[in-house]
Amino acid sequence: MNFERCYMFTNKKLIRFGLSLFVFLGIINFTISYFQTYLETAADIKWVVPEIWKTILLDVPQGILVLLGAIALYDFTKEASQKDASI
């Protein structure tokens, strides 16, 4: 396989940054949901983050990171062509 064709796998800082960003967004999403549920059940306060902001700030970046990861994984696992295999 020709691993040099996929830049994402040769740049470990980019992989580390993408994974850190994905985990950070997941933690933020969990924290917002946790506090919303806590305030509704314990204090009867209806604190709602508008869905459009939740989508823009959390779901869209997570979706983009998942797509980039899928593309990088596809590039990484794609079989080498016959020309590359003969070298």
Q: How confident is the model at residue 17 (pLDDT cuts 50, 70, 90)?
A: confident
pTM of the model: 0.64
Token pair for 66: 């998942």
Residue of higher predicted confidence among 49 and 35: 35
Instruction: Write out the two tokens for 69.
Output: 């990861």
Question: Tell me, what's the pLDDT at 50?
Answer: 77
- Helical axes 60-77 vs 12-42, angle rounded to 10°: 150
| Predicted confidence band of residue 86 (pLDDT cuts 50, 70, 90) | low
Of the pLDDT bands very low, low, confident and very high (cuts 50, 70, 90), residue 27 is very high
For residue 37 the two structure tokens come to 């549920």
